[in-house]
Amino acid sequence: MLMKPDKPVAGWTFKIFQDNTVRITTFVLILTITVFLKQPNFLSMTILIIALALWLMVQYFFRNPDRAVIDEPGLLIGPCDGTVTDITHIKEDQYLHAETIRIGIFLSVFNVHVQRSPLAGEVSLVEHQPGKFLPAFNPDASKENEYIAMRIETDYGTMLIKQISGILARRCINYAQPGDRLLTGQRFGLIKFGSRVELFLPPEAEILVSLGDSVAGGLTKMAQMPKTGSEYES
C-alpha cells in the first residue's frame, strides 16, 4: 500500500478563514476571562462559559487534519469523513447522461468537513446549483438541494462528485477550477457543519464499502475502477 502526504488545491483559502476564526474566538475568550477575573459574578461566569464553548466548537468543527492518503492504481479513496447511507444504480441525467453507481455519504456536524479528491484526474466541470435545504441523509437531497458538482476525468474513466447542502450546512465551497489536475487525496473543498457527499461511478466499478460503513477521507478504500477507461452506458 502506497501512502502519500496530501495537500490542498491552489487557491485554498480555508486555512486563512480557519486561522482568522480561531484568532477571533481566542481573543473573545481571553477578554471574557479577564472580565471574569476582575468582576467574578454570575453574569461574567455565564459569558465566560459561552465563550469557552464557542472556542471549543470552532477548534473542533473547523479542524483540517493532514493525512497520509492511500494511492493505488485505479483505487478510489474516501472523499470525506462520514457514513455510507446509500449505494444505488441510477441514471445521472445532468452531467454524465449515463447509468452510474451512486455512493451517498452523510457527514454529521461532528465529522471533519473537508473534502478530498478520490482519485487523480483533471477537473472538467465545476458547477454550483441553487436549491432547497432538505435533510442531507435523504437521498432526494441529491436533486433538490443546493449543491456543487465537480466532474473529474481520470485514467480509469469519468467520475462525478457532488457536495450537497443540508438543513444546517447551507454553504458548500469548492476551490478547484476546470483544467486543474487533482492528486489522489488532494483537498479541494468543504461543507461547513457537515451534510452529504455523493460519488457517481461507472457501473463496472467494484464497490468496496457497504451501507452503514464509516469512511474517512483519504484513508478508506471506496471502489476499484476498471483497469482501462470505461465508457458509461447511456
Reduced to 3 states (helix: H, G, I; strand: E, B; else coil), residue 25 is: helix
Question: Which residue carries 500500500 as its cell?
Answer: 1
Is residue 119 within 8 A of residue 161, CB to CB? The reply is no
Classify the C-alpha dihedral 87-89-90-96 as positive or negative.
Answer: positive
Residues 6+ apart with CB under 8 A from 127: 95, 148, 149, 150
Question: Which residue carries 486555512 as its cell?
Answer: 15
- 195 catalytic? Reply is yes
Q: In angstroms, rounded to a whole number, what is the distance separating the alpha carbons of residues 9 and 122? A: 12
Annotated catalytic residue, options 117, 142, 195, 210: 195
**Catalytic residues, which ones?**
195
